[in-house]
Structure 1
Amino acid sequence: MKHLINIDNGGTLTDVCVWDGDQFSFTKTLTTPFDLSECLFEGIAKASANLYDERDLIRLLHEADHIRYSTTQGTNALVERKGPSIGLLVEDPSVIDAMQSDDDHSTLFADLIGNRVETFDLSDDELEFSLVQTVNKLTTDGAARLVVVGRDAESERTVRNLLLRNFPRQLLGSVPVLCSWEFVKDANDARRGWSSVVNTFLHPVMERFLYQAQSRLRENKVTNPLLVYRNDGASSRVSKSVALRTYSSGPRGGLEGTAALARSYNLAHVLMMDVGGTTTDVGVVDRCTIDTQRRGRVGEATISFPMSSVHSSGVGGSSIISVRDGRIVVGPRSVGAAPGPACFGLGGKDATITDVKVLLGILDPETYLNGQMHLDAARSRAVITSTIAEPLGISLEEALIRMEDAYLDTMAETFRDLVQEDTTLAAFGGAGPMSACGAAEKAGVKRVLIPRMAAVFSAFGISFSDIGKTYESSISENTRDSLQRNYDDLLHRAERDMFQEGYALDECQMKWTIEEHDANGEVLASRDYENGEEVADSGHNLMLCLDVKKVLPHADLAANDSVDTSEATSTGTRTVRVSPDETQDLPVYVLEDQIPGATAAGPAILEGPFFTARVTPGWTFTVTSNGDLIITDER
């Protein structure tokens, strides 16, 4: 087989993982927020150097069967509220209250929509005039995009036609209008409204980059399309993807990898902690099954689509640590890749945990990112002194200890409520391993698993992805003819879409289900469905669903074998500050130099490929037969 290129684009770093059917090769590069296609192609070029001993971007692009891409840009945009101002136009005024059903939804409503919300009445004799006035008001108030939520699809079409009649097309092109029923068919108005609003908010972030990347691929005469990895674990080409399905897609890759780890190590309950530059993403794998919700949540909003249960918090390696009201606060704002932490030397003026770890001695400025970037400790010292130590009236040394403690507290809060007695914390992402033991200790977790590929683990998890689509259709009446019409319609749509993906439907796997919904669109029951069968009339609304996928070759993790333990080999020591008044010389272990079964007790520093792990006192690490790390609290 040819290569499969998997890319996870984060706010600070972009990870590339290439599989040749047997082995993985991986690398990292700085994210380029001014042009995300730049870091994508730079990452692939760096990966080509690992494969061919010289950079040959064109060769790798042409030897790749598929390029699968996920991004946290949507997640980061929502966490940091960086997106267009949304204007909301609703037919039923009660929808406005329903979309603000609790404090979380109200906060999101205020941040994304604010006062840019108006109603319309189809029975209004002056409807056309009032719509023009309403849209003018919304755009004057700053709405850059409009979402229409009507009682049904016909109401929304009426509004759209009137807007097209009264506004120049160039205006509606610069202020796009999304009709909620066109986007998703969900009887729950508030949920449908939130799905449309969040998709509209995320769309610009994705649109610019994805089509730009496709254009560069065409310039290099690459015929295989760029595939977008989605939050349901499948992939599809850019033109067949929607922005909302990219939200938390990177963490879904991490969950797929975590499920593979759970199978390999026979772990009952695993919490994924994926720590990037801007966010920490937490999800659950229970009995090797990814925890999912039929009606997912994006940030604080409940949406219409299924999603893995991932919670994203604004705490990462580049999260800004500041002083507010006399206390140290972590995130949710991030310095991202540009300017990045102060120690990157790119103009950063805010303190981050990366700066703290450099000054504590945990990160070696000479070996960061496998030596690809030198960190400037002097810049970290200056920034932390001016933004933390001096405002609090404390020494730099005390500031460092208090900042790390605040960071670990904030991180522990992201998963504390999910901890069970048999929980294992799988920590990865570039910033995960260096804080995993400290956060686990605060949350009451006794075992931490750090994969060898921790730094690119979400990109690795994408290797379990297939090309797929999901469809659903509301059954207007429970009759054989109605079911058959809906069945044929979904089959036709799937056949068309998979053909556009490059595959015939008979090459694909299909799974049909029938769902019973209440009047509010909540799922009451779900079961497999075969064409032609009669469905007993329960008095509930019916939804026919189809999941179709073309299975691609997958990587597989070997089962963990028992191995004889031996003393781990240290390559030296590193001076680490452990209190405001004390430093210790801790042994440093290079993961690639250890044999399976190698073990040692903390405190210690472990250097892996593109990551640094800190083993705290009372914890012991062991290298598994797969080359991963299991760190256990022995107290």
Structure 2
Amino acid sequence: MQRLINIDNGGTLTDICVWDGQDFTYTKTLTTPFDLSKCLFDGITKASEAVYGAADIEALLHSTRHIRYSTTQGTNALVERKGPRIGLITDDPAVVAELRSTESEASLFDDLIGGRVATIDPRADEESLSFDLVQRVNKLTTDGAARIVVAVGDSGGSDERLLRSILLRRFPRHLLGSVPILYSWEFTADRVRSRRIWSGVINAFLHPTMERFLYNAEDRLRSHRVKNPLLIYRNDGASSRVAKSVALKTYSSGPRGGLEGTRALAKAYGLGHVLMIDVGGTTTDVGSVKNGRIADERRGSVKGVPISFPMSDVHSSGIGGSSVIAVRDGRITVGPESVGAAPGPACFGFGGKSATITDVNLLLGVLDPTTYLDGDFSLDAERSKAVITATVAEPLGVSLEEALLRMEAAYFATVANAFADSIEDAADTTIAAFGGAGPMSACGAARLNGVKTVLVPKLAAVFSAFGISFSDIGQNYEAGLPEASAATAAAVHDSLLERAERDMFQEGHELASCVLQWSVVVEEQDGTLVSEIPYAYGDDPSVGTDLHGSLRLTVTAALPHVELAGNETLAPRPAVASGVRRVRSSPDQVEDVPVYSLVEQQPGATAMGPALVEGPFFTARVLEGWQLHVTAGSDLLLTDTR
């Protein structure tokens, strides 16, 4: 088969995973926030070197069926508020208070919209309405609006259709400087006005930033004569072409990749409840897979603001390998500030002046300065010493050695707090620890929460990129049912089917070759989900009194998926150490800790901690009292025997 390339663009590092149908080849590169296309192609170049032994980007690209790409750019744009100013046209002045009803909503409203709100009366005669619309749009653009969201009337969209016809005549799209306008009813059929408007506002904010980068990336791929399109991995677990992707659905797509990989692990090992702990450079993402199902929300939220689309139930905390560890008011704090990839931890040698857990683990002896990122560059211990002494040890009035142990303990506690509320029954919970920093802190954090089992996948360092391997090409559609009758449902069915046929053709697939799933979604008036039942053409949808129904269609064009090895029972054998490392265990004591290379161990290999396990691009710290076991799939299973 042709190769499939998966790329997960993180805040500090970008992960690249190449699958040829049998084996994975993977690598990492530093994220270049000033130009994300640079780290994208740097990563592809490095991957080609890993595949062929020498860099050959042309050969790799021409043997690839698709590139599936997940980016943090939308997340970063909202965090940094880097995007266009939004204008809002509504017919109800009360909508402003409605959109600012919580602290999170008020903050986002003020930053994205501010005072750029215009009110019109869609019931006025057409001449008056046309005049008022022109005046309002001109005022909004004069006030700085680069994009406008129109939200008038109900979710049926009749009033907005009228406004659209007027605005298209008055502001034709072919004119230079024509401001893009998004109509809330076109974007989502959600009956809850605030969610519908917020979805449109956030999408309008994210769209231009995502569009510029992704189309630039496509252009660069075309320069290499790549025929197959770049696919964007979405937060619903599917992938689609750039031209068929909604900006809002790229938000928090990386964690969804990790969840898909976690679900595959849970299935392979027969685990009932698995918590994903993805500790990257900037954040720790926590998600849950229970009984083979990814925990998600029918209506998700972005930065505490409710939206109309489903979202994985992932909680992100500002703690990662590049999080700043500092002293505030006499105590050690971890994050949420991060040094990112630039300047990075002090030991990177890029000018970083803040301490991170990467600096701590280097000085504790957990990390080998010559093998970090598989030896891509060396870490500078002297820089770490200088920064930690100045920013932590001296402010606390303790030795450097004491400071290191306190910093590690604070880091374990902060990671433990990130997933403490997600544990229902510690005895029945397995932690799937991945990301570059996850395996180093998993045992310490799990023990604080009473969790006895940690699973570190062999591809832990690139696991979210690996999880994208379970993605198919797909689209989702949903439209409201004005009335609960078979005729109405059939008419909505036909309109959705027409959209799906057009979209999947543009994705390169005939609808007849795709899998279609139809259902009727029943909600209360406030949008609370009541039920979702299968639908077949001609059915009379079962929607009760005072409830709202909509028709949902999911279309999937399958791509090949990897099969994970099961949890076979293996006879234990002693793990074979490749060396020892001097690791500090107290302020005045260091001890020789065995180091095991994961790729060199035979399935069934077992040892007791303290130990260090070196995997590709990651180091797992096995604390005293923990037992390590290499599974049939060459993953690392850790069990707390205390």
TM over 0.5: yes
Alpha-carbon separation, structure 2, partners of 1:438 and 1:140:
56
Please say which of residues 384-393 and 204-213 is displaced more in the overlay. Answer: 384-393
The residue number in structure 2 matching 1:214 is 218
Please report how far the alpha carbon of residue 285 of structure 1 lies from its aligned counterpart in structure 2 after TM superposition.
0.5
- Separation in 2 of the partners of 1:193 and 1:325? 42
CA distance in structure 2 between the partners assigned to 1:84 and 1:438 by the alignment: 43
**What does 1:558-597 align with in structure 2 at a 5 Å threshold?**
558-597=565-604
1:514 paired residue number: 520
Letter in 1 for 2:63: E
Of 332, 335, 345, 1:331 maps to: 335
Aligned residue among 517, 526, 529 for 1:523: 529
1:176-191 alignment runs, 5 A limit: 176-191=180-195
1:236 corresponds in structure 2 to 240
> What is residue 467 of structure 1 aligned with on the other side?
473
Which of the numbers 612, 615, 622 marks the counterpart of 1:605? 612
How far 1:500 sits from its partner (Å)? 0.4
Q: Which digits, 9 at most, give the CA deviation of each residue in 1:560-584, with x for residues without a partner? A: 1111112212222222233444333
Is this contact kept in 1: 2:520–2:549, CA < 8 A? yes
Q: Distance in 2 between matches of 1:592 and 1:409?
A: 30
Residue 540 of structure 2: aligned partner: 534
1:295 alignment counterpart:
299
**Aligned mates of 2:115, 2:441 — CA distance in 1:** 41
> 8 Å contact 1:108–1:300 — kept in the other structure?
no
- In structure 2, relative to structure 1, the CA distance for the partners of 1:133 and 1:316 (3 Å cut) is farther
3-state secondary structure, aligned to 2:541:
coil
1:146: Cα distance to partner? 3.9
Deviation at 1:556, TM superposition (A): 0.7
Q: TM-score, normalised by structure 2?
A: 0.92
Aligned pairs (5 A) from 1:133-148: 145-148=147-150
**Gap change, CA 1:177 and 1:579, over 3 Å in 2:** farther
Task: Look up the SS of the partner of 2:236 in the other structure.
Answer: coil
Which string of whole-angstrom CA distances, capped at 9 and with x for unpartnered residues, describes residues 396-430 of structure 1? 33333333222222221221011123000001111
* Aligned-pair CA distance for 1:283: 0.7
With 167-176 and 535-544 compared, the bigger mean Cα shift is at 167-176
Shift of 1:106: 4.2
Instruction: Give the drift of 1:37.
Output: 1.6
Hey, what does 2:559 align to over in structure 1? 552
Q: CA deviation at 1:609?
A: 0.6
Match of 2:377 in 1: 373
Q: How far off its partner does 1:607 sit?
A: 0.8
Matched ranges for 1:161-310 at <5 A: 173=177, 176-310=180-314
Comparing 296-305 with 255-264, greater Cα deviation is found at: 296-305
2:431 paired with 1:425: yes
What is the CA deviation profile of residues 587-606 of structure 1, one whole-angstrom value per residue up to 9, with x for unaligned ones? 21111121111111112211
Q: 2:171·2:178 contact (CA, 8 Å) conserved in 1?
A: no
CA distance in 2 between partners of 1:411 and 1:195 (Å): 31
Displacement of 1:91 in angstroms is: 3.1
CA distance, structure 2, for counterparts of residue 83 and residue 314 of structure 1:
22
Which segment is superposed worse, 85-94 or 10-19? 85-94
The amino acid that maps onto 2:25 is S
TM-score, length basis structure 1: 0.93
Range that drifts further, 116-125 or 527-536 = 116-125
Partner letter of residue 385 of structure 2? R
Match of residue 70 from structure 2:
70
Deviations 1:511-539 (A, max 9, x none): 00011233333332210000012224523
Distance 1:585 1:525, change over 3 A: same
Asked whether the equivalents of residues 574 and 606 of structure 2 are also in contact (C-alpha less than 8 Å), the reply is: yes
Asked if 1:32 corresponds to 2:50, the answer is no
Q: Which runs of 5+ in 2 are unaligned?
A: none
Which residue identity is paired with 2:333? V
Q: Percent identity?
A: 62
Give SS of 2:227's match.
coil
The answer (yes or no) to whether the contact 1:595–1:623 under 8 Å persists in 2 is yes
Is the aligned partner of 1:362 residue 2:369? no
The question of whether the paired residues in 2 share the 8 Å contact of 1:156 and 1:179 is answered with yes
State the AA in 2 paired with 1:359: L
* Paired residues of 1:75 and 1:312 also in contact (CA < 8 A): no
**Residue type at the aligned position of 1:219:** S
CA distance in 1, matches of 2:381, 2:85: 39
**Which digits, 9 at most, give the CA deviation of each residue in 1:20-72, with x for residues without a partner?**
11111111111121221222222122222222222211111011111111122
Helix, strand or coil for the counterpart of 2:613? strand
Partner of 1:151: 153
Secondary structure in 2 matching 1:460: helix
Is 2:629 the partner of 1:622?
A: yes
Give the distance between the partners of 2:505 and 2:307, measured in 1 at CA. Answer: 29
Cα distance, 1:281–1:597 mapped onto 2, change above 3 Å = same
Change (3 A) 1:344 1:617: same
The match for 2:509 is 503
Cα distance in 2 between the residues matched to 1:405 and 1:2: 47
> CA separation of 1:395/1:312 partners in 2, compared to 1, >3 Å: closer, same or farther?
same
Q: 1:491 to 1:167 in 2, by over 3 A?
A: closer
For 1:203 and 1:333, locate their aligned partners in 2 and report how far apart those are by CA, in whole Å.
26
C-alpha distance 161-481 of structure 1, shift in aligned 2 (>3 A)? closer
Residue-by-residue CA offset, 1:274-327 (whole Å, 9 max, x unaligned): 111121111110012111221122231221112221112221112233344443
| Matched residue type, 2:602 | I
Cα distance change of structure 1 residues 631 and 78 upon mapping to structure 2, 3 Å threshold: farther
> Do 1:299 and 1:312's aligned partners in 2 also have CA atoms closer than 8 Å?
no
Deviations 1:80-120 (A, max 9, x none): 55545544444333333333444444454455555655654
* CA–CA distance in structure 1, aligned partners of residues 140 and 365 of structure 2: 53
Q: For 2:526 and 2:584, how far apart are their aligned partners in 1?
A: 57
Secondary structure of 2:522 counterpart: strand
Return the offset for 1:157: 5.2
Q: CA RMSD in A?
A: 2.6
135-144 vs 442-451, which deviates more?
A: 135-144
- Asked if residue 5 in structure 1 is aligned to residue 12 in structure 2, the reply is no
CA distance in 2, matches of 1:439, 1:77: 30
Q: Aligned partners of 2:397, 2:171: CA distance in 1, in Å?
A: 59
